[in-house]
Structure 1
Amino acid sequence: MTGTIRTVGVCGAGGTMGAGIAIVAARAGYRTISFDRSAEALARARKQTEAFFAKSVERQKLSAEERDVILASMQSSTELADLGACDLVIEAVFEALSVKQELLGDLDTICPPQTIFASNTSTLSITEIASGCKRPDKVVGMHFCLPAQLMKLIEMSPGILTSDETMQAAWDFTERCGQIPVKTQDKPGFILNALLVPFNNDAIRAVEAGVASPADIDRAIKAGLGYRMGPLELIDLIGLDTQVRLSEAFYPITLDQRAAAPPLLRRMTSAGLLGRKAGRGFFTYDGNAMFGA
């Protein structure tokens, strides 16, 4: 494998997004260290990852031998210090600026100077996140799309101080992973969510207004527009609480009423109907299998 990135760390790998990012890196041949503070979350993610790769073998996308090599390259840890061996660390932790800044500050003391830090954020400024460490030139935005193990798009966003060398190394990594990178400005939502969040909110308002059932709205969008996933199924996948946070990030900036969180969304979130991870959102789910498994 060419390039300087050999070992990849993923922070927040006990969650759906982090686990998917770890799969992308490991599948491309990188040694991957999945970090999360919760051993239980890591164990659950590992079980889901094994099920995902078992399905890949069943569908003849991988051989059993290739699956075993990939799984053997994936390590889990609850010790942040283990990420000191990484050339690239991708964070997919809770979407709060202070949390991400604190994480990068801790990683700054653990990782060697050449390690690149990437953030999966779609709502926060890469430049502001980078201010949490002493190597802002080594920080880049790398926004994967859910489910990361199936979706190819990665929105690549440099902060004000991100070096060209860092941006190129991160870009090369995404291509070696078989992903499709696009360059965006350091603005909330980048390309995809800037368009998608208002659209998803429109679908929620249609449910609230009684236009049609969630199933029929999704069916219409998929059949009429050719989407592979309906907006309400997508909201269930990313989490209704995440949709709230996205709306709260975009509305103050754009003052676009379509970006404001619909009342139904807030009520469902308050009731704990968070989507797939809770077993119920706009639809009901049996179990918590990783998407694609």
Structure 2
Amino acid sequence: MTEAPVTAAVVGGGTMGAGIAHVLLAAGSRVTVAEADASRAADARDAVAASLRKAEDRGKLDRTAEELLAHLSTVDTLADLPPGADLVLEAVPEDLALKRRVLGEVARTCPNAVLASNTSSLSITALAAGLPGERVLGMHFFNPVPVQALVELVTHEGLPATTLATVRGYAEALGKTVIEVRDSPGFATSRLGVAVGLEAIRMLEDGVASAEDIDTGMRLGYGWPMGPLRLTDLVGLDVRLSIAEHLSRELGDRFTPPELLRNKVASGELGRKTGRGFFDW
């Protein structure tokens, strides 16, 4: 029988971090969310609470939201993370230097924890360099975390099979289906998802079809729950551009971002979070 970590921490309380905290709490873990300051920490707690209450209203929880929130704490410095944590998930922005700094501090504060990064594209080998690599791996969740069934575990040469098995058990205890992927640019999901998303943008740029019709074609013709352009809006055009630029450097010209994507990001049309991307929100 798989079990969730008894004590877990999440560094970064944004959309992904709050969602990860939600599923950990729902699975019975005690959870600490770390943010950059007290105001952001309070916002993170509010986001987790709102998510849990929504799940409770829909009959998705075994206990009340308030009972689960009693096991949530927040801190505004990594030094205050629980030293006995079993699992620490890093969910800060996609910046290699930032993630390495966070993981380095967490490795010292939580000496026995597995250190998991929610990165969607950065090299786990690079993240683990100079750290206790036997404790570091990728644990890529998908948005919205409480709803999406998949977790992508990303391995590297220094990761013991026992650590991978432990984290697979944690993910399965959260109700997730696990795939295992060797460390490679974009892993499996981002590499494929970005490739389709970029081609959809090129098709829109070339006037092949409207955004709505491109997305409808993929939904009804290929069974996608959401079309690639609406998904790009949900992820954030700036995030997709950053990943595409990374993959272009690593894998070549087929991932070169279309000018339409660059122009929309430059004009502040970032998708749902700004109210406009390829669609109006």
| Secondary structure in 2 matching 1:155 | strand
Give a deviation string over 1:152-181, Cα, whole Å, max 9, x none. 111111222112221111111001111111
CA distance in 2, matches of 1:89, 1:82: 13
Counterpart mapping for 1:104-123 below 5 A: 104-112=103-111, 114-123=112-121
Counterpart mapping for 1:37-186 below 5 A: 37-62=36-61, 65-85=63-83, 86-112=85-111, 114-133=112-131, 135-186=132-183
CA distance in 2, matches of 1:271, 1:92: 27
Residues 1:264 and 2:263 are matched in the alignment: no
Shift of 1:38: 4.0
| Secondary structure in 2 matching 1:10 | strand
Aligned to 1:238: 235
237-246 or 78-87, which moves further after superposition? Answer: 78-87
* Structure 2: 5+ residue stretches without partners: none
| Secondary structure in 1 matching 2:64 | helix
Give a deviation string over 1:14-37, Cα, whole Å, max 9, x none. x21111111121111111111110
CA distance in 2, matches of 1:121, 1:4: 21
| Secondary structure in 2 matching 1:145 | coil
Shift of 1:62: 2.9
Shift of 1:4: 8.4
Aligned to 2:206: 209
Aligned to 2:5: 5
Residues 1:252 and 2:249 are matched in the alignment: yes
CA distance in 2, matches of 1:25, 1:3: 11
Is the Cα–Cα contact under 8 Å of residues 11 and 92 in structure 1 kept in the other structure? yes
Is the Cα–Cα contact under 8 Å of residues 33 and 76 in structure 1 kept in the other structure? yes
174-183 or 2-11, which moves further after superposition? Answer: 2-11
Aligned to 2:272: 276
Give a deviation string over 1:197-236, Cα, whole Å, max 9, x none. 1100111112222233322322222122221111111111
Change (3 A) 1:196 1:79: same
Q: Identity across aligned pairs (percent)?
A: 40
* Structure 1: 5+ residue stretches without partners: 286-293
| Secondary structure in 2 matching 1:43 | helix
RMSD over aligned Cα, in angstroms? 1.9
Is the Cα–Cα contact under 8 Å of residues 4 and 87 in structure 1 kept in the other structure? no
TM-score normalised by structure 2 residue count: 0.92
TM-score normalised by structure 1 residue count: 0.89
